[in-house]
């Protein structure tokens, strides 16, 4: 009867052990690239902001704002997929930290082969590592803080991707305006050069009169070529962030960037509660602090507590407690204590450095925005004046009161003034976008990048 009970108990224990084991599932690699050939083929549905709310769909068939471009980059950037594995690893570490060590069981049987004994000898012991229980709470707290730290870092990575996409969109929009203005100016130069060549051939002008005009035309062609190369590179970089093929194009709306907030000082003082990278450093410090606690508690020597039961060959049975522990003579966990304290100090200084840098950057960007706003006002006035003078010069040229070379000079000045306005517009938008990132505003406060559907 006793043998049958033991057999049944062993079978149940084996079934439970097998049932709790993980099973294998293959995860095959992709056989081809997953680059979309049009903007409508990428993910453009944002998750619902709260339970019960409807998902937000970005209309990719209309001109996209720079904020929409940033959100699309978060949803489709290929590199964000690789970083999501870090979250799974952190959660796996939490699972491991929250799992207590298994008790140890020892069984022994010695068959009677001869002598005065009457039966075989049997021994059984059950032991549990008690030292791990002392540090259990600290290890679990550290692992939980690390999970939150990883999630905050992943959110910051999403913000960085969105920031890069938004800046590229700004560069593309104002770069396109600059190219259009430069193309118009180049057409004027080529038209004037053609008129001068006709005059030279007719003998009314000398060959030396065409030299400055040809030089201006060559300079304009070179500048326009550089702008087009920059535009091509920016489009390729943006397509890569959106998971698109390098030749995909779409319309970007005129940037509408928020101005410097009126409550700038309040926003700067509350940056540590909003910026994901600062929150991640806080959580990392909390995890390191728990590691210090665990290391100090780890000075408690290894201690295994259990009990034994046995019978000898004369069928004398005995039972009692057992204890196994280390003598902390040489190793008192002093190395781990020193290491965790040094790690905590490093994170403490890293957080202070990052906080100081973020505040400094925010103040600098605010000052730059104010200065560029003043410069832009003056540049717009100068551009308006130059355009008015160019229109007057064109009217005089049509009435044969002005030569072609002088008209080109007026038009070149107007074009240069417009380009200056475009460059300031771009610089101001970039400064304000960067300021919003430093302040931790204008971007999703929770992760929105979708999980890999294969996982």
Is the pLDDT confidence value at 13 over 60? no
CA atoms within 13 A on the CB side of 206: 3
Q: Which range among 7-16, 33-42, 378-387 has the greatest average pLDDT? A: 378-387
Among residues 78, 435, 425, 28, the alpha carbon closest in space to that of 256 is found at 425
Q: How many whole angstroms separate alpha carbon 292 and alpha carbon 337?
A: 6
Among residues 277, 360, 266, 322, the alpha carbon closest in space to that of 124 is found at 322
Residue 57, beta-bridge partner list: 45
All domains of the chain in start order, with CATH: 38-439 (1.20.1600.10)
Band of the pLDDT at 51, cuts 50, 70, 90? confident
Band of the pLDDT at 325, cuts 50, 70, 90? confident
Averaged pLDDT for residues 337-356:
94
Give the per-residue pLDDT at 158.
94
Is the pLDDT confidence value at 340 over 90? yes
Per residue in 151-202, pLDDT (tens digit) is 999 999 999 999 999 999 999 999 999 999 999 888 888 887 777 677 666 6
Residue position matching structure tokens 């610089």: 427
Averaged pLDDT for residues 220-229:
93
Among residues 363, 380, 378, the alpha carbon closest in space to that of 414 is found at 380
Per residue in 357-409, pLDDT (tens digit) is 999 999 999 999 999 999 999 999 999 999 999 899 888 887 888 877 788 88
Q: How many whole angstroms separate alpha carbon 306 and alpha carbon 349?
A: 45
The 8-class DSSP code of residue 118 comes to: -
Q: How many whole angstroms separate alpha carbon 377 and alpha carbon 370?
A: 11
Give the per-residue pLDDT at 122.
87
Higher pLDDT, 372 or 129: 372
Per residue in 64-121, pLDDT (tens digit) is 999 999 999 999 998 887 777 788 888 888 888 888 888 889 999 888 887 787 888 8
Determine the distance from the C-alpha atom of residue 56 to the mean position of all C-alpha atoms in its chain, rounded to a whole number.
22
Helix, coil or strand: residue 202: helix
């Amino acid at each position: 009867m006793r043998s049958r009970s033991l057999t049944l108990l062993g079978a149940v224990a084996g079934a439970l052990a097998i049932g709790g084991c993980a099973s294998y599932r293959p995860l095959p690699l992709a056989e081809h690239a997953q680059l979309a050939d049009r903007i409508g083929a990428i993910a453009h549905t944002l998750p619902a902001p709260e339970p019960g709310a409807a998902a937000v769909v970005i209309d990719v068939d209309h001109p996209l704002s720079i904020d929409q471009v940033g959100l699309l980059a978060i949803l489709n950037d290929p590199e964000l997929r690789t970083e999501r594995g870090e979250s799974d690893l952190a959660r796996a570490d939490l699972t491991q930290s929250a799992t207590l060590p298994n008790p140890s069981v020892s069984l022994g049987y010695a068959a009677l082969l001869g002598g005065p004994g009457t039966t075989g000898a049997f021994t059984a012991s059950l032991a549990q590592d008690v030292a791990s229980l002392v540090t259990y709470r600290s290890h679990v707290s550290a692992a939980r803080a690390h999970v939150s730290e990883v999630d905050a870092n992943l959110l910051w990575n999403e913000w960085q991707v969105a920031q890069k996409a938004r800046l590229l969109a700004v560069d593309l929009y104002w770069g396109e305006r600059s190219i259009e203005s430069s193309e118009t100016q180049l057409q004027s130069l080529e038209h004037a050069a053609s008129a001068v060549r006709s005059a030279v051939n007719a003998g009314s002008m000398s060959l030396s009169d065409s030299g400055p005009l040809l030089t201006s035309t060559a300079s304009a062609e070179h500048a326009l070529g550089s702008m087009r190369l920059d535009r091509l590179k920016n489009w390729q970089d943006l397509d890569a962030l959106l998971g698109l093929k390098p030749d995909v194009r779409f319309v970007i709306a005129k940037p509408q960037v928020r101005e410097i907030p009126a409550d700038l000082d309040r926003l700067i003082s509350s940056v540590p509660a909003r910026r994901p990278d600062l929150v991640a450093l806080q959580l990392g410090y909390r995890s390191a602090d728990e590691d210090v606690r665990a290391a100090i508690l780890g000075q408690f020597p290894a201690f295994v507590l259990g009990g034994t039961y046995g019978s000898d060959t004369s069928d004398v049975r005995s039972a009692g407690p057992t204890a196994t522990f280390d003598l902390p003579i040489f190793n008192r966990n002093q190395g781990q204590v020193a290491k965790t304290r040094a790690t905590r100090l490093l994170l403490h200084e890293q957080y202070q450095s990052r906080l100081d840098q973020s505040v400094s950057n925010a103040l600098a960007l605010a000052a730059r925005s104010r200065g560029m706003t003043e410069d832009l006002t003056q540049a717009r006035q100068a551009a308006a004046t130059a355009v008015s003078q160019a229109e007057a010069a064109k009217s005089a040229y049509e009435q044969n009161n002005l030569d072609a070379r002088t008209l080109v000079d007026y038009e070149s000045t107007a074009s240069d003034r417009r380009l200056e306005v475009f460059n300031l517009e771009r610089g101001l938008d970039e400064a304000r976008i960067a300021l919003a990132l430093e302040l931790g505003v204008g971007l999703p406060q929770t992760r929105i990048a979708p999980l890999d559907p294969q996982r």
